[in-house]
Structure 1
Amino acid sequence: ISEYQIIEIAENVCNLKKEEADWILKIDIVEQGDKLELVEQNAEGICNTECKTIERTCQEVMGYSDTDVAEYIYTSKPDVESLTNYLCKDLTKACKTKPPPLPKDRTPGEPFVPKPTKEAEMEKMLRSMEGMPGAPNMQMYSREELMNMKNFGGDADDDEDEDEDQFPSNLGKVLRDKESKQTDWKQKIIKGVKDAGETLKRHATKVSFRVQKWWKGFKAAQSKS
């Protein structure tokens, strides 16, 4: 894994709009006596208040330490325990105090509800299209509307087969070949745009990372003098 990939993960690990934070969707907050425990589930769940609570907590703990965490992972390649101690005790004070006991009148959180497979796939597809030309138009439809569209899912193949039967075989082949070529060009253009965007983003992230390292060194030198 490259330095850029580590930086990107550290920046997005607490942002539910990003793929790097999908781990949050598998966590259930469970009451155990007067404490709360985080229990990992086998599948992603529907994001309600507990999910957003974990996201907010993650953001508060990580704060502006994402570049420090990324640098530590890249240079030290620590195990999970070492990384936890570094973030939780060295960079922040998140683990230096014990959490207070749960209030007796606390309202229990909602039960963990696994997310339907189609809904999870739709969310990933929409998220992967962010930043692509024309992709913002997809926001005009909700997940439910997109999933309920007539041609979404398995029914589309059946409709296409019925339409093809109405054309002479040779004409159908010509049309399919033409459509295939157009699709190939579209895919090439989309891939080119995405690759260019990723390259620019990678360079920008590296520059930002190096500037932050220089600034920290500059501040440290000033404090010593």
Structure 2
Amino acid sequence: MASLNKTVISISLIICLLQIVNNCLALNNNKGGIARKEDIPFIKCQVCEKLAKELYEQVKDKQLKISPKKITEYDIIEISENVCNLKKQEADWMLKIDIVEKGDRLELVEQDSEGQCGSECKTIERACQQVIGYYDTDVAEYIYKKKPQLSSLVNYLCKDLSEACSTKPPPVPKGRAPGEPFVAKSAKEAEMEKMLKSMEGMPGAPGMKMYSREELMAGKGLDDEDEDEDDEPSIPSNLGKVLRETQSNKKLDWKEKITKGIKDAGEATKKHANKMAFKVQKWWKAKKASFTQHKSKSGKQEL
């Protein structure tokens, strides 16, 4: 019964941890944007071509990363499911694209760095989701079994499956309101967002300190002592492996194994999560101080 209670607590704390991630992302992306659905027909084919390229390259990178192991169909399905979701790292490619109006057409122009995600970013995401739709497993199966070249993958996804490129896009109406300018993120902002995305799916963290958005902005918890990274135990990637460990060559019964496994995973995750929270708070304090200093200088110049 005690083991079951601890399991329930761990599951509850997973939700709390994801809430922290969402709060932190809200601090850094408070402007946001709404997709312009009327622009999708003008860019759908280009989005499909870039999507096919991303699938091809990400699968290739994944294979190189896990070599000499062979990439599985499940690995490819995971990529195809996430590649059009801006909450996932697989969709970061969309953050580098600017929609530029050229004559009577819209063109997707790739930039050197990631930009702030506004309405154009959301429009590309929506177009991407319309293209892949329910075909994520189909295209994953095609890549896994056929191992196609990029040109073949583009034809399969953009003409055979989605038909995104089966017809020429219509001309852009003259009265179309221009989109927002592309604003590049700072290196620190991009790094912070990647770190927060990587925290998604982390196991529960019993006893982790929780801070609201207002508390983070006020710098609460910044005086807490940082954990030494070298002293931190690694987070168990597989709870089953933890449960199989023996202590002092003594065979534990199954209840003790479950209790020990949950405790070990919880303690390690607690330290890791608190460290991430400290980093987020320090990053926000530095950004807030920089903004205040800039505002102060501007005020003096006006005087």
Map of 2:169 onto structure 1: 99
Say whether 1:124 aligns with 2:194: yes
Q: Which amino acid aligns with 1:188?
A: I
Map of 2:126 onto structure 1: 56
Separation in 1, partners of 2:241, 2:127: 33
What's the CA shift string for 1:184-215, capped at 9, x where partnerless? 2xx234x445999xxxxxxxxxxxxxxxxxxx
> TM-score, normalised to structure 2's length?
0.49
Map of 2:26 onto structure 1: none
Cα gap change, 1:138/1:124 in structure 2, threshold over 3 Å: closer, same or farther? farther
Give 3-state SS (helix, strand or coil) of 1:38's partner.
strand
Measured after TM superposition, the shift of residue 86 of structure 1 is 0.3
Cα gap change, 1:137/1:150 in structure 2, threshold over 3 Å: closer, same or farther? closer
Cα gap change, 1:99/1:70 in structure 2, threshold over 3 Å: closer, same or farther? same
Q: How does 1:3-152 map to 2 (within 5 A)?
A: 3=72, 4-132=74-202, 133-134=204-205, 140-141=212-213, 145=217, 151=222
Deviating above 6 A after TM superposition, structure 1's stretches of 4 or more consecutive aligned residues are 135-139
2:235 to 188, 195, 212: 188
Q: Which amino acid aligns with 1:57?
A: A
Give 3-state SS (helix, strand or coil) of 1:89's partner.
helix
Measured after TM superposition, the shift of residue 138 of structure 1 is 6.9
Separation in 2, partners of 1:64, 1:8: 14
What's the CA shift string for 1:162-193, capped at 9, x where partnerless? xxxxxxxxxxxxx97xx854x22xx234x445
Cα gap change, 1:194/1:150 in structure 2, threshold over 3 Å: closer, same or farther? farther
Give 3-state SS (helix, strand or coil) of 1:37's partner.
strand
Q: Which amino acid aligns with 2:106?
A: L
Cα gap change, 1:6/1:49 in structure 2, threshold over 3 Å: closer, same or farther? same
Amino-acid identity (%): 59
Higher relative contact order (CA 8 A, sep 6+): 2
> TM-score, normalised to structure 1's length?
0.65
Cα gap change, 1:94/1:138 in structure 2, threshold over 3 Å: closer, same or farther? farther
Separation in 2, partners of 1:130, 1:72: 29
Separation in 2, partners of 1:138, 1:110: 36
8 Å CA contact 2:82, 2:91 repeated in 1:
yes
Separation in 2, partners of 1:44, 1:57: 19
Cα gap change, 1:46/1:194 in structure 2, threshold over 3 Å: closer, same or farther? farther
Measured after TM superposition, the shift of residue 98 of structure 1 is 1.5
Cα gap change, 1:43/1:141 in structure 2, threshold over 3 Å: closer, same or farther? same
Separation in 2, partners of 1:106, 1:78: 39
What's the CA shift string for 1:133-161, capped at 9, x where partnerless? 2499878449x849x77859xxx9xx98x
Measured after TM superposition, the shift of residue 128 of structure 1 is 1.1
Q: Which amino acid aligns with 1:130?
A: E
Measured after TM superposition, the shift of residue 116 of structure 1 is 1.3
Cα gap change, 1:37/1:57 in structure 2, threshold over 3 Å: closer, same or farther? same
Cα gap change, 1:105/1:71 in structure 2, threshold over 3 Å: closer, same or farther? same
Measured after TM superposition, the shift of residue 124 of structure 1 is 1.1
8 Å CA contact 1:126, 1:138 repeated in 2:
no
Gaps of 5+ in 2: 1-62, 64-70, 243-303
Cα gap change, 1:105/1:66 in structure 2, threshold over 3 Å: closer, same or farther? same
Separation in 1, partners of 2:88, 2:98: 19
The CA RMSD measured in Å over matched residues stands at 3.4
Cα gap change, 1:130/1:33 in structure 2, threshold over 3 Å: closer, same or farther? same
Gaps of 5+ in 1: 161-174, 197-225
8 Å CA contact 2:211, 2:220 repeated in 1:
no
Cα gap change, 1:137/1:10 in structure 2, threshold over 3 Å: closer, same or farther? farther
